[in-house]
């Protein structure tokens, strides 16, 4: 029977996509962000998939290619400074990689094999100008990877023991390695564990384990606490209150980040509940050091580094590709704005 209308043709094409597996899909997301030296940078990844097999029979999607783009803003915005956007890598096939920005450097970290929250992997130095790795993968075998704030250091396992690599040194052939044997068991606890967020302080002297709260089930686990491990073997612990039944309000709290400030570990905490937003800096005893209740919500993506914390300038920045929120906790002021 001849096709008598454009509608019939469209319906036939849709049927073809459904039955023969020729449908495609694309997905774009921001995968990293970093604020340093008056620049706010984003890495944006676009991935493309095709349906393999019939969708009616439960077919699966296969990655066919992806593009990686670096977007740079002047921040705070300065007259004459323009926004730049540049694709630095195009890949074909199923290649599950990740790229991280390094503070104050044009180089990046290329993470290999670490698909999913807290999966083991390896890393290399990557030059986005050439689109190529410029070092061999480290550690020798896939392991947990925990970077400091600027990504100039990486805590991982080497031969089963915790060590810190200087990320720039991996391109020299003789990587700088500092041993952290007393952190080995703590680091292994984070392995394939989506309920713990490990944080390495900028000076690499402290490892902080923060709880990842997103279910009432986890809130009843016995080791639901915050722990701080120092290089001398001391461990500070703040057990969170699980004696009372879990509530939606308790689940709304997020332990976002940690850093060494004024000779003590401070923890960045955020809660959004029933239209009320609150940010706090807490010490390891759970006491409030600074707090503010912004009148606007804050976009927090826990899968990314959730904030751009600049301890030297007493500021925490929450950026998106189009706007930002910034908390100056020295003056306890909060501002929002647009990037474009």
pLDDT at 238 over 50: yes
- Report if residue 324 sits inside a domain: yes
Residue 1: the pLDDT is 44
- Report if residue 323 sits inside a domain: yes
Q: Which residues contact 131 (CB under 8 A, 6 or more apart)?
A: 88, 89
**E strands in 234-294:** 235-239, 253-261, 264-273, 276-282, 288-292
Quote the number of domains for the chain: 1
Which residue range is the domain that position 207 belongs to? 195-340
What does the pLDDT average to over 123-146? Answer: 95
- Report if residue 296 sits inside a domain: yes
- Report if residue 186 sits inside a domain: no
Share of the chain above pLDDT 90, in %: 52
- Report if residue 179 sits inside a domain: no
pTM for the structure as a whole: 0.85
Per-residue pLDDT of 38-56, as tens digits, reads 899 999 999 999 877 655 5
Chain centroid offset of residue 93 CA: 24
Q: Which residues contact 280 (CB under 8 A, 6 or more apart)?
A: 268, 269, 270, 288, 289, 290, 291
Q: Which residues contact 236 (CB under 8 A, 6 or more apart)?
A: 227, 228, 230, 265, 284
- Report if residue 229 sits inside a domain: yes
Ranking 110-114, 148-152, 227-231 by mean pLDDT, the lowest is 110-114
Distance in angstroms (rounded) separating the CA atoms of residues 119 and 328:
34
Distance in angstroms (rounded) separating the CA atoms of residues 164 and 154:
5
CATH assignment of the domain containing 304: 2.130.10.10
Query: Could you count the other beta carbons within 10 Å of the beta carbon of residue 184?
Result: 15
């Amino acid at each position: 029977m001849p096709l008598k209308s454009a509608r019939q043709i469209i319906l036939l094409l849709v049927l073809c996509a459904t039955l023969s597996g020729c449908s495609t899909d694309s997905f774009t997301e921001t995968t990293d962000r970093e604020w340093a030296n008056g620049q706010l940078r984003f890495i944006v990844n676009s991935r493309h998939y095709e349906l393999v097999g019939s969708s009616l029979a439960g077919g699966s999607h296969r990655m066919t290619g992806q593009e990686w783009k670096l977007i740079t803003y002047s921040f705070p915005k300065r007259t004459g400074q323009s926004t730049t956007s540049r694709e630095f890598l195009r890949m074909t096939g199923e290649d599950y990689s990740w790229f991280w920005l390094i503070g104050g450097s044009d180089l990046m970290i290329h993470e290999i094999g670490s698909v999913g929250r807290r999966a083991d992997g390896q890393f290399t130095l990557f030059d986005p100008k050439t689109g190529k790795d410029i070092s061999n993968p480290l550690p020798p075998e896939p392991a947990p990877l925990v970077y400091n704030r600027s990504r100039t250091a990486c805590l991982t396992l080497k031969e089963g023991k915790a060590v810190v690599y200087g990320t720039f040194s991996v391109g020299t052939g003789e990587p700088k390695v500092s041993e952290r044997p007393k952190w080995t068991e703590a680091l292994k606890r984070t392995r394939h564990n989506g309920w713990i967020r490990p944080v390495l302080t900028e000076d690499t002297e402290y490892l902080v384990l923060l709880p990842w709260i997103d279910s009432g089930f986890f809130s009843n686990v016995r080791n639901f606490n915050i722990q701080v491990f120092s290089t001398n073997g001391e461990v500070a612990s703040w057990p969170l209150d699980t004696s009372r039944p879990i509530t939606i309000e308790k689940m709304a709290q997020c332990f976002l980040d940690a850093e060494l400030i004024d000779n003590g570990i401070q923890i960045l905490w955020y809660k959004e509940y029933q239209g009320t937003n609150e940010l706090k800096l807490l010490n390891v005893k759970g006491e409030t050091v600074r707090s503010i209740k912004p009148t606007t919500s804050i976009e927090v993506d826990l899968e990314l580094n959730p904030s751009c914390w600049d301890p030297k300038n007493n500021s925490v920045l929450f950026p998106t590709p189009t706007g930002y929120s910034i908390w100056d906790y020295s003056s306890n002021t909060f501002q929002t704005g647009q990037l474009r």
